[in-house]
Amino acid sequence: MKTELRALIAQAIDALRNTGTLPADATLPDFVVERPKERSHGDFSTNAAMLLVRAAAQASAETGKPGKPNPRALAQALIDALPPSGLIAKVEIAGPGFINFHLSRAAYEGVVASALKQDRAFGNNANSNGKTVGVEYVSANPTGPLHVGHGRAGAIGDCIARVLAANGWNAKREFYYNDAGVQIENLAKSTYARLHGLKPGDAEWPEAAYNGDYIGDVAEAYKRGDSVEVEGHVVVGAKDIENLDEIRRFAVACLRREQNLDLAAFGVNFDTYYLESSLYADGKVAETVQRLIASGHTYEEGGALWLRSTDFGDDKDRVMRKSDGTYTYFLPDVAYHLSKWQRGYERAITELGADHHGSLARVKAGLQALDLGIPRDYPDYVLHQMVTVMRGGQEVKLSKRAGSYFTLRDLIEEAGRDATRWFLIARKPDSQLVFDIDLARQQSNDNPVFYVQYAHARVCSLLRQAAEKGYAYSPENGLANLAKNDDDASLLLMVELSRYPEVVEIAGDTLEPHLIAQYLRELAYAFHNWYGNTQVLVDDAATRDARLALASGVRIALRNGLDLLGVSAPEKM
């Protein structure tokens, strides 16, 4: 609807150019078409007239009539120039020159028709024209089971990729494995200690070791000579308990596989698994250093190589290569994001925990210092806050398997996959999240995922009941008779249904998939209210089919929206 209104307003502006009210070369202003907060103010509102005042003043001066045009008069001229449309029932001028549109009931009936005809494509937009976007998320160190924070990252990142794809992007999902550095050495030493009979609490147990039971499982698998397959590569336990390199390789493979299995069970998958170690093996880090030196944005000081990142908005210059010849974490991050650009990601989005905030400016500075034409806002970042898990009014922190934190697998086992995904995505990423396991397990209207899924199942039940009663539901007959949905509850339901494509668009523009969850609750509320006040399976076929058509349109939006969240749409509950 917003797209159609924008097109009508643009045609009206063209008409004003032709009549001389606006200069012939006046550019189309970046006007807004939005839903007013108060429905009494109309269905949509635009500020187009107020943005055209300067152009109208120029046209007046050119005809010898200087002076500032009245915005309200200009708004009336725009209204008079609007082409005829069955979309609009009434137009009003408000305040200093806002134009409020009241849409016709037929316009909302058209949304029901669009939902039924487009089916799984309903709500999809083609805003990006198929451009490629890389979405990186989770990117956990392969040193232990995934925790609940990783689960939130997985839910947010996966939903962002789904929403971007719905908006026409060629979305590529990517997991970056930090398989090099101190943490990996600690993993190898922890497994080595277990292989030599040590356990947490022993006097010789390494101070920085990982204490969870999973380390013991890895050690036992290594001793047995188990085979581990990860992304097409097979690693076999060498059984040699003195070979730290083989222990390291096997332990990393084991934990990568476990993390992948957890994420797959969570409905989170990836197109690319990128290894930090490959940046060194393929010479990408060294290449990045040479490019930065050649760009003239580096200098030597104290035996270290520095990037003059303050030239690009960072708060201080950054060390790239320390005096001992080793690289800081900052440099492989720059090399990794450079690889995204080189691999054709026209846009890159990185989903991280809020504790990574400090690295954002320096990575962007490093990319700008390469002088390769990479956009200044490359990559986009989405930061999420921590998750607090509650059960029985008490915070849940520990897991025997992990040793020190509650794992994603624990949460899925307790709350179920659908509820876990919904609760982890349902709030804005940068807000603190309290996950109430007791609420997530409830089968009641207080549980938002149950409430929305039940609305979908209810429509499916209506269609089954119609068949059981011998009613031959005809969607075509329903669409032809949509005007029989003439009560207020039906109109409100159609209005809510009409919002779905807009919400998908906004969620993609803002990278805020929680907006989908919020919308689905509102649509479910409107449907349950309609259902409670409307007898659907009446004797009159035209009325019955019209109501079933409306319910079916709602079912399509519910199912498509739940799919964007990675949540199932059950037909029975």
* pLDDT, tens digit, 9 for 90 and up, residues 537-564: 999 999 999 999 999 999 999 999 999 9
The predicted model gives 427-437 an average pLDDT of 95
Confidence tier at 530 by pLDDT (50, 70, 90): very high
- Phi first, then psi, for residue 123 (nearest 5°) are 95, -15
What confidence tens digit (pLDDT) does each residue in 341-400 have? Answer: 999 999 999 999 988 777 888 899 999 999 999 999 999 999 999 999 999 999 988 665
Q: Judge whether 572 and 458 are in contact, CB under 8 Å.
A: no
d(CA 487, CA 445): 25
Residues 6+ apart with CB under 8 A from 224: 237, 239
Q: Judge whether 415 and 462 are in contact, CB under 8 Å.
A: no
- Burial (0-12, 13-18, 19+ Cβ within 10 Å), 312: middle
The pLDDT of residue 158:
97
Q: Domains plus CATH for the chain?
A: 2-103 (3.30.1360.70), 137-281+385-441 (3.40.50.620), 445-564 (1.10.730.10)
To the question of pTM greater than 0.95 for the whole model, the response is no
| 492: Cα within 13 Å, side-chain hemisphere | 16
Confidence tier at 134 by pLDDT (50, 70, 90): very high
* Whether pLDDT at 29 is above 90: no
The pLDDT of residue 224:
95
Q: What is residue 170's three-state secondary structure? A: strand
Does an H or E element contain 480, and which? helix 475-480
What confidence tens digit (pLDDT) does each residue in 219-272 have? Answer: 999 999 999 998 888 999 999 999 999 999 999 999 999 999 899 889 999 999
d(CA 190, CA 139): 21
The predicted model gives 329-341 an average pLDDT of 94
Confidence tier at 401 by pLDDT (50, 70, 90): low
Q: What is residue 471's three-state secondary structure? A: coil
The pLDDT of residue 169:
96
The pLDDT of residue 61:
66
- Phi first, then psi, for residue 320 (nearest 5°) are -100, -45
d(CA 154, CA 307): 32
The pLDDT of residue 474:
93
Q: What is residue 203's three-state secondary structure? A: coil
Residue 227 falls in which region: left (phi positive, over 0), alpha (psi -120 to 50) or beta: beta
What is the token pair recorded at 28? 């189309």
- Phi first, then psi, for residue 491 (nearest 5°) are -65, -45
What confidence tens digit (pLDDT) does each residue in 438-487 have? Answer: 999 999 999 999 999 999 999 999 999 999 999 999 999 999 999 999 99
* Whether pLDDT at 67 is above 80: no
Percent pLDDT > 70 in the chain is 97
The pLDDT of residue 20:
87
What confidence tens digit (pLDDT) does each residue in 300-317 have? Answer: 999 999 999 999 988 889
In this structure, the number of other CB atoms found within 10 A of the CB of residue 39 comes to 11
* Whether pLDDT at 62 is above 80: no
Q: List helix spans (H) across 130-237.
A: 148-166, 182-195, 213-224
Cα three-residue angle 100-35-26, rounded to 5 degrees: 60
Confidence tier at 334 by pLDDT (50, 70, 90): very high
